[in-house]
Structure 1
């Protein structure tokens, strides 16, 4: 069963955040992640205000999505994001 990584991100330091965006895609690819949405238009209809960026990544399974997040490769990218953005990341299993 597929799983989806959903992230809402507000960038506070674009220059530093670019280091994250240069590293993270390689980790996604290594674990079979396929970007379905990244940035683009969005509108919050309920809940908190619209984040600057919304990201949806599809994985073959919940386990693959978790393995990607917990991997050394992604954590190295994540370290670059610290202090450069506020992020909420969830993984949800598909139907």
Structure 2
């Protein structure tokens, strides 16, 4: 059963964040991950949207999603992201 990682991001250093964006796609490949949604615009039909960016990742299953998130390659990218933004990650599935 597929699993999804939903990410809300607030960017405070776009230049550094661009470096993160270059590393993430390669980190997904070994785990069968792919982008379903990557970026903007987001239109709130109900409620409020207060973030700079929305990302939705799809994985073959929950285990692969967790393996990706904890992988050495993603942890390197994550350190860059943390210097450029704040984010909320949600795993569903």
If the length of structure 1 is used for normalisation, what is the TM-score?
0.90
Structure 1 residue 50 displacement after superposition:
2.9
Gaps of 5+ in 2: none
Taking the aligned partners of 2:3 and 2:81, their CA distance within structure 1 comes to 23
1:67 aligns with 2:90: no
- 1:16-95 matches, within 5 Å, as 16-44=16-44, 45-46=46-47, 49-93=49-93
* Superposed displacement of residue 19, structure 1: 1.4
Where does residue 2 of structure 1 map in the other structure?
Answer: 2
The CA distance in 1 between the partners of 2:55 and 2:82, in whole Å, is 17
Contact 1:43–1:50 (CA under 8 A) maintained in structure 2: no
User: Which runs of no fewer than 5 residues in structure 1 stay unpaired?
Assistant: none
State the aligned residue count: 92
Question: TM-score, structure 2 length as denominator?
Answer: 0.92
In 1: Cα distance, 2:11 partner to 2:40 partner: 14
